[in-house]
Amino acid sequence: MLLGMDGVITAIVVFFFACILFPKLVKNHAQFYVVFALILLIILMQTLGIMFASEGFLRFVHVMVGLFTIGAMLLLVLATGGLSVKDLGGEFLSAFEVIRRGESEKEVIVPLTGEMPKPRKPRVEPETGPGTLPIAPAATEKKAEDGSSIPLE
């Protein structure tokens, strides 16, 4: 007999019937109807597995039931969330980036070599005249001596 996935399949069927009772949960009806077809295929495969109980066929049935279960779970998430597969993939990628980086915003990485920084605007020296005091420069600019593209101050 087929064991192992019965609890997951039961949860899928219960959620499917909950969506029938509360139709406002379903945002994409085409995906929801595909879930219904997958549930029927799971039941059919399990019935055939019991009827033809050879070892090779049972292995095939287990694999197919597992694939149909994954498909049904994925499509239930898509149908109730109103997402497409592309949208769900984008959500997973952004969640992966947040988990990997530990924050919600991406870091800005400044390259040490390769790209040249934008040229700075030339400094405009204040005019000094007979009634003005000279202004001392705030800091003198030092050029990098090691040939790197980012000047060190």
**What's the half-sphere exposure (Cβ side, CA atoms, 13 Å) at 95?**
6
CA–CA distance, 25 with 17 (Å, rounded to integer) = 11
Q: What is the DSSP string of 123-139?
A: PPPPP--TT-PPPPPS-
Q: Which of 122, 42, 124 is nearest to 75 (CA)?
A: 42
Cβ-contact 120, 86 below 8 angstroms: no
Give 50's contacts (C-beta < 8 A, 6+ positions apart): 1, 2
The owner of tokens 């994954």 is 70
Provide the pLDDT for residue 76: 92
Provide the pLDDT for residue 71: 93
Q: Which has more confidence, 30 or 148? A: 30
DSSP class of 115? S
Give 53's contacts (C-beta < 8 A, 6+ positions apart): none
Q: What pTM did the predictor assign?
A: 0.57
Cβ-contact 80, 20 below 8 angstroms: no
Mean pLDDT of 117-128: 67
* Mean pLDDT taken over the chain: 79
Question: pLDDT tens for residues 36-72?
Answer: 999 999 999 999 999 988 899 999 999 999 999 999 9
pLDDT for 96 beyond 70: yes
